């Protein structure tokens, strides 16, 4: 049984709670939507799921219905208390009151690899959280995140797209990303002014290059994305190295695919 709009409203008002703007709280109040997300997560008995921003448990309940083991993370103390009540009879769900941006992931996910992360992420933490998990939490093999449309478009963007940027390269380095659905504003309470999308990221074997060196180069270039690479990377990459990497020094960062960044990083490292 997942939460409807009246149930969410009652859970909040009966405990003197309200959605917090500072945490970007928008609760999904449509049972069909959370069941759809659980279906897209493609989890079931034997699977391990970590849900970030579990809130009042709408999606938590849908994930539990699949038979998966769920660790539900919620930073808001008031909501975490309600969430514990909501899932009190579900042995497969564990509630953890913590900030996903600072928690010890290795400790939280101890005991197994191949976790799936499912989350409804507010705008202010979506990009840094996804980036941090890809960089430092290899136990999470797959992510399904609900984010604002513009964030989702950046996560999945390819070269030549206006949405393509440093985070797009990072995502491509660690995994394969795709948009798997849209989520209308009408299913949230309160109703946001923006559209949301669902993004799936599946880890793959990363390229054989030092990620820190590649990401530093990418950040530097995209920091001045309107400039040609010979300008934005001046002092780091000379004309000879651009030639060796097979990259035009007159190109701009959004024109380079992941393979291009890998070659350029290797040429610099070999110098």
Domain boundary among 203, 224, 254: 203
Residues 187 and 225 occupy one common structural domain: no
Residues 193 and 262 occupy one common structural domain: no
Residues 87 and 219 occupy one common structural domain: no
What confidence tens digit (pLDDT) does each residue in 216-252 have? 999 999 999 999 999 999 999 999 999 999 999 999 9
Residues 10 and 117 occupy one common structural domain: yes
pLDDT, mean of residues 98-117: 92
Residues 73 and 169 occupy one common structural domain: yes
pTM: 0.95
Domain boundary among 149, 174, 203: 203
Residues 218 and 244 occupy one common structural domain: yes
Q: At 53, give phi and psi (nearest 5°).
A: 70, 50
pLDDT surpasses 90 at 271: no
pLDDT surpasses 90 at 21: no
CATH number at residue 181: 3.40.50.150
Residues 245 and 148 occupy one common structural domain: no
| Better-scored residue on pLDDT, 25 or 89 | 89
Domain boundary among 203, 230, 248: 203
CATH number at residue 255: 1.10.8.100
Q: How far is CA 7 from CA 4, 26, 56, in A?
A: 5, 15, 10
Residues 24 and 142 occupy one common structural domain: yes
> In this structure, what token pair is assigned to residue 72?
């539900």
Give percent of the chain above pLDDT 90.
Answer: 91
CA 69 – CA 40 distance, rounded (Å): 16
What confidence tens digit (pLDDT) does each residue in 158-202 have? 999 999 999 999 999 999 999 999 999 999 999 998 999 999 999
pLDDT, mean of residues 120-128: 93
Residues 92 and 13 occupy one common structural domain: yes
Q: Using CB atoms within 10 A of its CB, is residue 93 exposed (0-12), middle (13-18) or buried (19+)?
A: buried
In 3D, which of 242, 107, 224, 111 has the Cα closest to residue 165?
224
Residues 173 and 220 occupy one common structural domain: no
Q: What is the 3-state secondary structure (H, E, C) of the chain?
A: CCCCHHHHHHHHHCCCCCCCHHHCCCEECCHHHHHHHHHHHCCCCCCEEEEECCCCCHHHHHHHHCCCEEEEEECCHHHHHHHHHHCCCCCCEEEEECCCCCCCHHHHCCCCCCEEEEEECCHHHHHHHHHHHHHHCCCEEEEEEEEEHHHHHHHHCCCCCCCCCHHHHHHHHHEEEEEEEEECHHHEECCCCCCEEEEEEEECCCCCCCHHHHHHHHHHHHCCCCCCHHHHCCCCCCHHHHHHHCCCCCCCHHHCCHHHHHHHHHHHHHC
Note if the bond before 147 is cis, omega within 30 degrees: no
In 3D, which of 26, 63, 33, 22 has the Cα closest to residue 198?
33
Residues 130 and 42 occupy one common structural domain: yes
pLDDT surpasses 80 at 112: no
**Domain hosting residue 227, numbered range:** 211-270
The count of domains in the chain is 2
Residues 31 and 116 occupy one common structural domain: yes
Q: What is the 3-state secondary structure (H, E, C) of 83-109?
A: HHHHCCCCCCEEEEECCCCCCCHHHHC
CA 62 – CA 10 distance, rounded (Å): 19
């Amino acid at each position: 049984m997942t939460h409807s709009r009246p149930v969410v409203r009652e859970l909040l008002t009966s405990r003197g709670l309200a959605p917090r703007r500072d945490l970007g709280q928008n609760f999904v109040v449509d049972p069909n939507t959370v069941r759809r997300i659980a279906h897209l997560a493609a989890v079931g008995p034997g699977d391990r799921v970590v849900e970030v921003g579990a809130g009042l448990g709408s999606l938590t309940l849908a994930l539990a219905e699949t038979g998966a083991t769920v660790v539900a993370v919620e930073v808001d103390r008031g909501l975490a208390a309600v969430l514990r009540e909501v899932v009190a009879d579900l042995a497969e769900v564990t509630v953890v009151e913590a900030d996903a941006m600072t928690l010890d992931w290795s400790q939280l996910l101890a005991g197994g690899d191949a976790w799936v992360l499912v989350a409804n992420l507010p705008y202010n933490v979506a990009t840094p959280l996804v980036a941090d998990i890809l960089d430092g939490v290899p136990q999470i093999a797959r992510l399904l995140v609900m984010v604002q449309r513009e964030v989702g478009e950046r996560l999945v963007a390819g070269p030549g797209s206006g949405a393509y940027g440093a985070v797009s390269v990072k995502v491509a380095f660690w995994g394969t990303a795709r948009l798997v659905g849209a989520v209308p504003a009408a299913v949230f309470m309160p109703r946001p002014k923006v559209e949301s999308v669902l993004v799936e990221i599946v880890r793959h074997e990363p390229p054989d290059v030092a990620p820190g060196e590649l990401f530093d180069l990418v950040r530097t270039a995209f920091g001045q994305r309107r400039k040609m690479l010979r300008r934005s990377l001046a002092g780091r990459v000379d004309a000879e190295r651009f030639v060796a990497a097979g990259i035009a020094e007159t190109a701009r960062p959004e024109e380079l695919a992941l393979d291009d960044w890998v070659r350029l990083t290797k040429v610099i490292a070999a110098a």
